[in-house]
């Protein structure tokens, strides 16, 4: 990105609500703060300043929601990776609508077991190449 700001170590960051605009000149600092992919309705971002003079590894932790599944051909993370957990969540909601608290609790336990397994798989993937523990 071209700007009058000198590059250096990143000293500041701020959350940013980014939005799409007609300008595609993302090298202009003013336009960059408003730029997102054209097919995105809303986009949250993070701005780092000063422009970094080295590569950064950034980990963002938060709650990320999938779009509502309205059409038969809609997909999400859950439809692609954990279909049964999604089905169980739908069945849990059905039990709630029937006011069947025991049935809802049974589905809740199945969902929690499934999500716990997903979390354990992620930890296993992240630690696969680790040879020693930090402490």
User: What's the pLDDT score for residue 43?
Assistant: 62
Residue 5 forms part of a structural domain: yes
User: What's the pLDDT score for residue 19?
Assistant: 62
pLDDT above 80 for 72: yes
Q: What is the CA radius of gyration of the chain?
A: 21
Residue 132 forms part of a structural domain: no
Q: Which domain holds residue 50?
A: 1-64
User: What's the pLDDT score for residue 39?
Assistant: 54
Residue 50 forms part of a structural domain: yes
Question: Which residues have CB under 8 Å from 56's CB, separation 6+?
Answer: 10, 48
Which of 16-30, 58-72, 97-111 is modeled with the greatest confidence?
Answer: 97-111
Task: Judge if 83 and 114 occupy the same domain.
Answer: yes
Give this prediction's pTM. 0.55
Please give the tally of structural domains in the chain: 2
Rounded Cα distance between 61 and 97, Å, is 32
Residue 55 forms part of a structural domain: yes
pLDDT above 60 for 49: yes
Task: Judge if 4 and 39 occupy the same domain.
Answer: yes
Element (H, E) at 45: strand 43-49
Task: Judge if 53 and 92 occupy the same domain.
Answer: no
Task: Judge if 94 and 58 occupy the same domain.
Answer: no
Contact predicate 27/69, CB 8 Å? no
């Amino acid at each position: 990105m071209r700007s009058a700001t000198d590059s250096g170590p990143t000293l500041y960051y701020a959350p940013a609500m980014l939005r799409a605009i007609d300008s595609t000149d993302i090298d202009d600092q003013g336009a960059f703060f408003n730029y997102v992919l054209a097919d995105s309705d809303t986009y949250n971002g993070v701005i780092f300043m000063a422009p970094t003079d080295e590569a950064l590894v950034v980990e963002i932790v938060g709650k990320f929601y999938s779009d509502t599944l309205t059409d038969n051909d809609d997909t999400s993370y859950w439809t692609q990776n954990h279909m049964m957990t999604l089905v169980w969540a739908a069945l849990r909601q059905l039990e709630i609508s029937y006011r069947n608290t025991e049935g809802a609790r049974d589905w809740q336990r199945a969902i929690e077991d499934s999500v716990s397994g997903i979390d354990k798989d992620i930890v296993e993937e992240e630690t696969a190449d680790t040879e020693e523990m930090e402490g």
